[in-house]
Amino acid sequence: MSAPSSSSTDLNIDHVASLARLALTPEEKAHFASQLGDVLDAIEKLKRVDVTGVEPTAHAFPLFNVWQADEARAGLSVQEALRNAPAQRDQMIVVPKVVE
């Protein structure tokens, strides 16, 4: 493990845990602070890479539309739609009441 950089020594793991709504033990805080510090160190190394002449991209490979054509077609019949429903009544799926 590398020595922490100045950015990771300023890391407030309590604040990060609070933002993530995590209750961490002191051992977990030390462990995760070390891991997060390593990630921040790696990001600092990436900042030093010369990217002159490299065009920004959102993806490593070209993307192509993989969706099928949006064409109207017949849907499921009522019997097919209700086939796996655990409970049904009047051609509807019965679910537990969630609102009082």
> All domains of the chain, ordered by start, with CATH?
6-47 (1.10.20)
Q: What is the pLDDT of residues 5-58, one digit of tens each?
A: 444 457 889 998 999 999 999 999 999 999 999 999 999 999 999 999 988 888
- pTM for the full predicted model: 0.44
> What does the buried/exposed string (b/e) look like for 82-95 if buried means 16 or more CB atoms within 10 Å of the residue's CB?
eeeeeeeeeeeeee
